[in-house]
Structure 1
Amino acid sequence: MFSKIFAKLTKKFSVEQTVVETNPKVAPTRIGDLGEYKINIQLDQLLKNSKHLSDLLLPNKRSKSGYSQIDHVVLTPHAIFVIETKNYAGTIYGERNRVKWSVNGRFPMVNPFNQNYGHIQAIKSVLGIVDDIYFVSMVSFTRRCTFKVNEELRKMSSNDLIVYDTELSDFIVRKLNVLRLQQSDPLFLDDDILQMYKIIDKSNIRDPLIRKQHVERIIEKQDTENSVHEIVTCDICGIEVSEKVKVFCHTNKKRFKGKVYCFEHQRINE
């Protein structure tokens, strides 16, 4: 199906026809992160006709740093899984259509699915794929977290899945079983998967200086955003509230005791 696309990309990147290592490990500087290591062990045990890559830095014109850093990509006959890992502890509050999520209702974080969407766009650009339908976005948290998110983000019918790190491979297998029933034929043949693997591996930027500059730009961007706009969330459910709601709650200190509540939980505290 994708032979023409891959033929053009092969010429563009001059991919060598040597055998590529099928299961690269994370870089030594990241092996100390036990969560990443556990995920790589799970991905090593996936189906034989799948391949995965980890700790990628790919060009991304839409990113302010010029790059996207991607934790894991799994290439299978029925979908490309793009995995973002998070090392938080606490209750994760969020909705798929919200720009900001929070940890414990107090500490804001970028919606990880929006973040992973940017990663998917970078992979699409490298592979020359146009449609999003070939991708499944997964966000993995440690077992130190509890999810308070949209229920559909845990259902196999969704192409956006939030999982615990210990169940990552199980969710991938279950999602593949669903996709097999939905697809009359695989989206990718074995040769397609190998070719995609080679192209992504060839595009991966390993230069430590560029990687360091990318991280510094991301940190600088986050610091700027935090100084410009303080995210205020409900003390009970963690939903982001407007500046007007915050002022109202602080104005009524006797009623709310200095805390901030969304409209629903304001009624509870009446």
Structure 2
Amino acid sequence: MQTKIEKIDMLLQFALLAAGEEDDRFDRQLGPIHLIKYVYLADLHYSQSHQGKTFTGVDWRFYHFGAWSETVHSRIEPALKAIKASQYKFESDFGKDDWVRWEAQDGKRLQDLSEKLPLAITGKLKRQVHQYTKNTTELLHLTYGTPPLLNAAPNEYLDFSVEDVDAQAGESDLRISSLSNKKTKTFKKNMQELRSLYQKKHSQRKRKKLVNPAPNSRQDDVLEKGIRWLESLSGEEFSEEKIVAEFDEDVWKSLTRKGHDVSG
């Protein structure tokens, strides 16, 4: 039976080796923040088919940059040195700790890890590594939008059993794929008929022609004065000074963070 540390190490190695398949060397180098987020996504994928139970079993928290685990962070160096990954350090633009990047290429080891890790993780995670590689902004945006983070406030532990609309959609696709061949053909035929009907109605719509509201508009002092008067109705011009906006702590638990429509 695999221990928690073994599972974390395998995911860290899998993510880095998956990135190692990229053609561009720049995309093959991952930093700690990228590796931690990929381990988080692996736990998320696993939890969606295991009643909210994660693969690693670590306690994830909502910290500065979203999902965070000190345990996962502490395993980066030993896990990657175990597969002889190259480590690079660069001077930080912020004058603090140096930036660290890791790189490794080993197709055989990647295949071995793919066979040892759950199928619920490997396919999705590998696609995401190739899609986001080391793009920090997009990767953070992806993880911030996941249900465990949308249902948590800073410093709280993440709950992987919260409802996931995307996972429900996946279950619907799975139910469709489990239909018999005859029912599947009927379903596809009906969907095609609906698409054809929609396209037919759409093509029959007449395009509305736009009419110039002022074909002979005047360009003189009267027009300019009128424009200035209209602009004056909007109030004073915005100042360029910096302001600080403060939000109530309840915003973290608001329905809008979870994607609900609260306009009604």
Structure 1 length-normalised TM: 0.22
Structure having the higher strand fraction is 1
Work out which of the two has the higher radius of gyration on C-alpha atoms and give 1 or 2: 2
Structure 2 length-normalised TM: 0.23
